[in-house]
Structure 1
Amino acid sequence: MFGPAVLIVVAIAATVAALAYGGGATPQLIQDPGPIARWGLPIAKLVVNLSAAGMIGALVLAVWALTPKKREFDVALDVAAASAAVFTVASAATGLLTFLVVTGVELSLGDTFGAQLGQFLTTIELGQAWLTTTLVGAAVTVLCFAVRNHTALVFVAVLAVFALVPMAQQGHSAGTAGHSAAITSLGLHLVFAAVWLGGLLTIVLLRNELDGARLPVVLARYSTVALICFIVVAVSGYANAALRIGTWDQLGTPYGVLVIVKLLALLALGGFGAIQRRYLIGRMSRAAAAGKADRPASRISEFWILVVAELAFMGIASGVAAALARTATPVAEQPGVIAQTPAEILTGEPLPPWPDLYRYFTEWNLDLLWILGCGFGIFFYLAGVWRLRRRGDKWPIYRSVLWVSGMLLLAYITNGGVNAYEQYLFSAHMAAHMVLTMAVPVLLVPGAPVTLAARAIRARKDGSRGGREWILLAVHSKFAGIIANPIVAALLFAGSLWVFYYSPLFRWTMVDHIGHEWMIVHFLITGYLFVQSLIGIDPVPYRLPYPFRLVLLLGTMALHAFFGLAIMSSAGLLLADWYGAMGWGTDALVDQQMGGGLAWSIGEIPTVALAITVAVQWSRSDQKESKRHDRHADRTGDAELEAYNARLAAIAEHDRQG
């Protein structure tokens, strides 16, 4: 327990020092809540962050690195349950302290105070966020005790991550001009920092369960996750700091100095991770494999010393982060300039330049989630190809080219000019929809990522599940068998158009950044499933014969075209109080009809490409079948043909005798 104690003590000390330096606990001139609330709120948030790390990190480590048949698995879930319980209590305390700080009301046991607190938690967005966080934490606590199934724990981990979403939607991000970018960067920062810190903390608490030979194995798996977390935390931290600091000269402010301290702690942690990955884990593994009992013990001692130092720097980073949430930013949280156009009032963002055609290729609205997602998608795919080639296996070059092209197109649609204008113009939104659901999957599906993963990722033999095991389990699950069925995939592809645009889902994706991200994922998945059912290489439970694939393609695209024509001929605006109120001086109905024309026309090129691909695959399938029959005939000396001819001769002879 020495390591966790170091983490907690250093984190609290760093929080207090950073609050004192940055002025985060300075008495307020009006309605000061008192020292208990001023100092207690950041410390309570620190406890929330640390317990969230223990909850999420332990769950991720259990589903990724540990074996359910060993006691290490149960102990990790106990750590997750205990952390979730602390998270629940700390979230409730944070909600109470936030109420005191925001309202300036004195703590009391009276009915009036209870009514005010209840109103804050149920009607005010900030209070609702902390109430939701507390309830989700309580649910995760119960599930960590009740659920021990390896597969079901994935959903528990997802629910635990969801507990951080309300936290990402509040704080400094709520007032900045780059609201969506702030939510994304803060959310990524919270989740991956939790996985990083919580995973290491869980390994420390599992110390007695991991013997000399088992420890390097678990560490190697954690180290891969930690490296990804380091990259995401560093990039998202930079994005957060850039939004709040503004210019380089603001680094001299108290907020800027604290950011520098946090950055130095992060760089130190990166150095610790490099030492651990490049030297200690390898030496521990080699010593354990050689059966040298004394050397593994010495290497393990070196490792635990390094871990304690790493936890100390994590404590510094966590404490400074908690204090930064209460420190005034150089960039004002509330914009000082009143919005000049209805578009700025609706979106909270400054208007992009007038949408001339070339602007779609020069303007950018970066979404860190998809920048990182596409970057990792390209890296891991090429790493898998490289691993295959190292061991002498072949992988068609066209698959790599198509996969990388699809990822680059996805990165452009989610970060380029189309993303910059889709909040303001229905036509831009429809263009993004069509490319996500039609063009991107046509490039990604032939890349056969599941086949590559099954061949390139090493299989595990200790009962745990890594990337290969989880991917194959998902692909061969009953749920995947249902949604990958060609008929179901076609219904999802075409039916979701009507359901999305003629239901409250459309509004949700406009007004809520989480809804916007869901929209991208949904369009991408439904398009991928449909294209996979037609020309996919990866394994699926059932495929239609080639003639029926062409019929399915033509029927589905007819419904798709009918949707576009319905939009083109519509005389009423979809989301009239949004697209019709932007105040750009454009005719919103004409723009909507243009969007319908895009829905009708953009799908033609991918449809032709799919039809040609299905026809080519059909032809190649016939050629392979013919060659197979020829080889069989050569091996058997045309025995089947001779037997057939003999049967015909016997029938003819029987007829003559009759």
Structure 2
Amino acid sequence: MDEQVVAENSGGVTSPASQSQASQAKSSKVKITWPFYVLFAFVAGLVGAILAWGFLSESLAALGIPDPGPVTTAGLPFLRAVGWIVAALSVGSFMATTFFISPREIKRSAEDGATPATYLNRSYLSVDGLIAARTGSFAAICFGLVALVMIPLVMSDLSGQPFTDALKPQNIAVAFEQIALAKAWAWVAGFAFITGIAGLFCRSWMSQPLLFAGAIVMTVPLGLEGHSAAGGDHDYGTNSLLWHLVLMLLWVGGLMALIAHARRIGPNTDIAVKRYSIVATYAVIGMAISGIVNALLRMDFSDLFTTTYGLLVLAKAIGVVVVGMFGLAHRTLTIPKLEKNPKDSALFTRVAIVEVIAMAAVTGIAISMGRTPPPTPELQDLSVMALEMGYSLEKEPTLFNVFTMWRFDLMLGTIGILLVAFYICGLVGLRRQAKKWNHLRTFWWMLGCATLVVTVSSGIGMNMPATFSMHMVAHMLLSMVIPVFLVLGAPLTLIMEATSPGEAGRPGLHEWAAVLTDNPLLKFIMHPAVNTIQFIIIFYALYLTPLYDIMVSEHAGHLIMNFVFVISGYLYYWEMIGPDPKPEERTHVSRLAWLTFSMPFHLFFGVYLMQLQVILAEDFYSKLNLPWDVDLAYDQLVGGGIAWASGSFPLIIVFGYLFRGWFREERIVEKKYEAQAEATGYADAEEYNKMLARMNEGHDLHGDYYQETFEPKDPGPADSGPKA
């Protein structure tokens, strides 16, 4: 059509230049992408359904359940694979609107004095960003619909009854009550609908990081169930699976979002591809490590070639390697071409589409593994302790031997190591720019990361699920000690110092870090009243309600508690003593007042636990059958004493830190006053002395006002008599 118009405008003769313009116009035409989404989901579902159908008889025999029928046999793996592709599309789309697609640029003026964070806070999504956000929202809603259908499918699959019977209301009620995987899909549906519906109404850039986090959270319940969440070593299995799933979502979803961005002729495609390339590189490495760990927990190396599950693992590994070759092709072929001409994205799009099809096939293989029982290990720990915690404890913890026990925590332990690597990268960036950095901040950060790794991986973390006293030790360290060390490391300041501001209309790491220090949500949370309440309420809500009994009996509960402890403590101490910028800097006197207000609540909490007659989580602790005698009532008393003593000690240190800051603050004000007085020849003091002298003589302003108002006035010369 474009070539015909050019020919008609040129009198029927098409010149080479006109042909070039027509070809360029044709190549720059915006193209739809949704048919490719359907293709990716269909490939994943088809591969998963075919493999699951082929291994059906072996799976049913191993599980000891009847055949639920073709609808469940083919529909469950098909829909589950489709669901993961749709979830990846949602995660990738919101990741793109947050980090890959720049928002609309706000015209900056030199007079308003706004920071980079302020400009980014005010920004709205571009047209391309709005389309990507809408895609992510609809994908999340579709994932929620898939989750609703999966509930009766799971019921049918695990019970062996036909799908039509599983749809009956009374059977769905049984699924919610007795089947953990059905509950997980129900949670998925709730999170997915909240994320998707909220995304339809959000147009600002500030909302996109929250939607990105929501898209990841909606998949987490599935990572906490399945083969990895059952039996021995399920703590390793669950944590490695969570890493694997989240990284897969970033890898697959990010590439789908880039394909759509390129087909929409979105701006700055070269920058988006570079940023995704970094994410994809680390995602592939992390997926490989977490996948190997998870596979080794489920089977021996000899099972890799002799069992169905092992063959599926091998096929998945080969598929990941093949897809990794596509990533290498991007680095050597498509990215250099995009750097020369960001609008020429045809080659990148073609390679990326084939790459996502391969990713979809690998996803289908992974889904079929979920319905294929892993080989039974020759030696397995079937004790109640191992089934509940994932491992067994052999000796009673003491003050010294807790540091000789070791079981590396794949979640917070890995995060601690990654935080060290991140900080070192920032220090290297400062060194390249010949900038100075306070070495004491580096010390605090490294101490915080080391304490985090030791807390969750040593005997403290190992015994945390087994006894209330060790749980309280870990709680105090995670919420009261480690956050203090981390906030004193000033990580956000390090990022902003080590990175340069992005070009106009192209925000980068510098601007994102600035937003983290100044945004409406953080301003609300860091209001002293809100921040104090959120820090205190965790103690009371967790231990004074049935919530603790629920959380302590599940590995998911332990994960959630650990993250909440660290994040809540970090926010609290960031506002109190953190050197990083904050939305509003308050005086040391104000912070001292709020700290003083909060201290009695911490003291009372420990005393309350020591006097509590009801044993928390008694049923769970009793059935662990620890190899040493545990008096649960005395252990809880010890835990209350730990909460009282160790909870107050950090607060006293912070109190001293703030008091010292207050003293220094007063000294600075005093020195400024002295300098100003010397510069003006103590004019203020002389004027003050003169005012006092006038007051003593009765001629100051107040005295004049008194005389003019209340003392009788001179009536003037007397009247000479009545006038005519």
TM-score higher than 0.5: yes
Which residue of 2 is the match for residue 311 of structure 1?
356
- Say if 1:275 and 1:378 are closer, same or farther in 2 by CA, change over 3 A: farther
Q: 1:589 aligns with which of 633, 637, 645?
A: 633
Q: Which has the higher contact order (CA 8 A, sep 6+)?
A: 1
Which residue of 2 is the match for residue 209 of structure 1?
264
The 3-state SS of whatever aligns with 2:397 is: coil
- Is 2:100 the counterpart of 1:45? no
- Is 2:618 the counterpart of 1:573? no
| Structure 2 CA distance for aligned equivalents of residues 563 and 107 of structure 1 | 51
Which residue of 2 is the match for residue 129 of structure 1?
184
- Say if 1:89 and 1:594 are closer, same or farther in 2 by CA, change over 3 A: closer
Which residue of 1 is the match for residue 367 of structure 2?
322
| Structure 2 CA distance for aligned equivalents of residues 20 and 315 of structure 1 | 18
Within-5 A mapping of 1:86-125: 86-108=142-164, 114-115=168-169, 117-125=171-179
Which residue of 1 is the match for residue 118 of structure 2?
none
- Say if 1:149 and 1:541 are closer, same or farther in 2 by CA, change over 3 A: closer
> Which letter maps to 1:203?
L
Which residue of 2 is the match for residue 292 of structure 1?
none
Question: More displaced, 45-54 or 601-610?
Answer: 601-610
- Is 2:614 the counterpart of 1:561? no
Which residue of 2 is the match for residue 251 of structure 1?
304
Which residue of 2 is the match for residue 176 of structure 1?
231
The 3-state SS of whatever aligns with 2:298 is: helix
TM-score by length of 1: 0.85
- Say if 1:175 and 1:492 are closer, same or farther in 2 by CA, change over 3 A: closer
Q: Could you tell me how far 1:617 is from its partner in structure 2?
A: 2.6
Which residue of 1 is the match for residue 547 of structure 2?
505
Q: 1:227 aligns with which of 271, 281, 297?
A: 281
Within-5 A mapping of 1:29-44: 31-44=66-79
Structure of larger gyration radius: 2
> Which letter maps to 1:76?
A
| Structure 1 CA distance for aligned equivalents of residues 558 and 262 of structure 2 | 42
| Structure 1 CA distance for aligned equivalents of residues 580 and 431 of structure 2 | 20
Question: More displaced, 439-448 or 131-140?
Answer: 131-140
| Structure 2 CA distance for aligned equivalents of residues 226 and 278 of structure 1 | 15
Q: Could you tell me how far 1:251 is from its partner in structure 2?
A: 2.2
Which residue of 2 is the match for residue 161 of structure 1?
216
- Say if 1:383 and 1:635 are closer, same or farther in 2 by CA, change over 3 A: farther
Cα distance per residue 1:528-553 (max 9 Å; x no partner): 34433432212335555445655554
- Is 2:471 the counterpart of 1:429? yes
Which residue of 1 is the match for residue 664 of structure 2?
620
- Say if 1:41 and 1:273 are closer, same or farther in 2 by CA, change over 3 A: same
Q: Could you tell me how far 1:371 is from its partner in structure 2?
A: 2.6
5+ residue gaps, structure 2: 1-32, 104-123, 705-724
The 3-state SS of whatever aligns with 2:314 is: helix
Which residue of 2 is the match for residue 78 of structure 1?
134
Q: Kindly, what percent of the aligned residue pairs are identical?
A: 28
| Matched-pair contact (CA < 8 Å) for 1:15–1:319 | yes
Within-5 A mapping of 1:79-478: 79-108=135-164, 114-115=168-169, 117-125=171-179, 126-210=181-265, 214-245=268-299, 247-252=300-305, 253-273=307-327, 276=330, 280-281=334-335, 284-285=338-339, 287-288=340-341, 300-331=345-376, 339=383, 343=385, 347=389, 349-460=391-502, 467-478=509-520
Cα distance per residue 1:119-173 (max 9 Å; x no partner): 4444332333334434544554444434434333444444433332332233212
| Matched-pair contact (CA < 8 Å) for 2:49–2:75 | no
Cα distance per residue 1:29-75 (max 9 Å; x no partner): 55223445323322222111111111221122122222244321122
Which residue of 1 is the match for residue 97 of structure 2?
62
> Which letter maps to 1:327?
T
TM-score by length of 2: 0.78
Q: Could you tell me how far 1:403 is from its partner in structure 2?
A: 0.9
| Matched-pair contact (CA < 8 Å) for 1:11–1:319 | yes
| Structure 2 CA distance for aligned equivalents of residues 650 and 278 of structure 1 | 86
Q: How many residues of Structure 1 are paired with residues of Structure 2 in the alignment? A: 640
| Structure 2 CA distance for aligned equivalents of residues 463 and 117 of structure 1 | 55
Q: Could you tell me how far 1:215 is from its partner in structure 2?
A: 0.9
> Which letter maps to 1:51?
V
5+ residue gaps, structure 1: 289-295
> Which letter maps to 2:73?
R
| Structure 1 CA distance for aligned equivalents of residues 261 and 483 of structure 2 | 43
| Matched-pair contact (CA < 8 Å) for 1:164–1:187 | no
Q: 1:599 aligns with which of 617, 636, 643?
A: 643
| Matched-pair contact (CA < 8 Å) for 2:553–2:620 | no
Question: More displaced, 56-65 or 231-240?
Answer: 231-240
| Matched-pair contact (CA < 8 Å) for 1:280–1:303 | yes
| Structure 2 CA distance for aligned equivalents of residues 81 and 487 of structure 1 | 34
Which residue of 1 is the match for residue 111 of structure 2?
none
Cα distance per residue 1:303-346 (max 9 Å; x no partner): 3343234224313321221121122212469x97653x5x5575
| Structure 1 CA distance for aligned equivalents of residues 618 and 216 of structure 2 | 35
> Which letter maps to 1:47?
V
| Structure 1 CA distance for aligned equivalents of residues 328 and 447 of structure 2 | 32
| Matched-pair contact (CA < 8 Å) for 1:165–1:187 | yes
| Structure 1 CA distance for aligned equivalents of residues 206 and 591 of structure 2 | 33
| Matched-pair contact (CA < 8 Å) for 2:72–2:163 | no
| Structure 1 CA distance for aligned equivalents of residues 638 and 92 of structure 2 | 48
Q: Could you tell me how far 1:360 is from its partner in structure 2?
A: 1.2
| Structure 1 CA distance for aligned equivalents of residues 587 and 41 of structure 2 | 62
- Say if 1:530 and 1:10 are closer, same or farther in 2 by CA, change over 3 A: closer
| Matched-pair contact (CA < 8 Å) for 2:484–2:573 | yes
